Amino acid sequence: MAVRKILTIADPRLYQVSEPVTKFDRKLRDLARDLFDSMYAAGGVGLAAVQIGVLKRIMVIDLLKEGFYKAVFVNPVLIEKSQELQQGEEGCLSVPGLSLPLARPKWVKVAYQDLMGKEHTIEAEMLMARALLHEMDHLDGKVFVDQLEPDLRLSVEEDIALIKKGAEPRHYKVPPYRRKAS
Ligand code: NI
């Protein structure tokens, strides 16, 4: 077990596109274990490898307690998404202290590989769809705070700038952010 440091958006690697996984070996399995360990230690439900500084297209999600799934997703690809959106609050271990409303497709279909390289597809809705989209965005160098509604984004601009400078949540302007989805 290895709990690894989770990068915040102060780190430029969070904005880089991760490389496809091509080797399904022991090293990949160790990486998956580290991802779960680091995610649980931080109290999260999803983590992408880039968040621990590994620019590979692998991510983990554990939403078993919420009635969904726990799995490792290697080289995930969005196949289909619903036009219908869901509202909900989103947070990210790389953006500590911020939880903000963001509209996402209600339903998605995603193709991915497991740790052995075997191909699968998953259909997911609500929170599981949100988690898949959030983590897949990380693999493309995208962070949820850059997808907020313009007015909302503007209202948290100062704190996002603070996080990017490496400040901790207690230094934010208006902690904590608990805004109701509207
Ligand atoms: Ni995240």
Answer yes or no: pTM beyond 0.75. Answer: yes
Q: What is the pLDDT of residue 98?
A: 87
Q: What is the pLDDT of residue 175?
A: 54
CA geometry: angle 166, 170, 174, nearest 5 deg: 105
Residue 127 and residue 105: Cα distance in Å, rounded? 10
How many angstroms is it from 114 CA to the middle of ligand 1? Answer: 20
Is 66 annotated in the active site? no
* CB-proximal residues (5 Å) to ion ligand 1: 92
From residue 142, give the alpha-carbon distance in Å to each of 73, 137, 148, 178.
17, 5, 12, 22
Query: Going by C-beta distance under 8 Å and a sequence separation of 6 or more, which residues neighbour residue 112?
Result: 73, 74, 75, 76, 77, 119, 120, 121, 122
Distance from Cα 73 to the centre of ligand 1, integer Å: 15
Q: Give dist(CA 31, CA 44) in Å, integer.
A: 17
Rounded to an integer, what distance in angstroms lies between the CA atom of residue 13 and that of residue 141?
8
How close is the Cα of 132 to the center of ligand 1, in Å? 10
State the DSSP code for 105. Answer: E
**Catalytic annotation, pick one of 119, 135, 149, 157:** 135
Q: Is the distance from CB of 62 to CB of 36 less than 8 angstroms?
A: yes
137 alpha carbon to ligand 1 midpoint, in Å?
8
| CA of 8 relative to ligand 1 center, distance in Å | 9
Give pLDDT tens digits along the chain (182 positions).
699 999 999 999 999 999 999 999 999 999 999 999 999 999 999 999 999 999 999 999 999 999 999 999 999 999 999 999 999 999 999 998 888 999 999 999 999 999 999 999 999 999 999 999 999 999 999 999 999 999 999 988 888 998 888 877 777 765 555 544 33
Per-residue model confidence (pLDDT) at position 171: 73
pLDDT of residue 1: 67
pLDDT of res. 182 = 36
68 neighbors 124 (Cβ within 8 angstroms): yes
The string of DSSP codes covering 52-98 is GT--BSEEEEE-GGGTS-EEEEEEEEEEEE-SSEE--EEE-TTSTT-
Domains of the chain, start order: 12-164 (3.90.45.10)
Q: How far is the CA of 133 from the centre of ligand 1 (A)?
A: 10
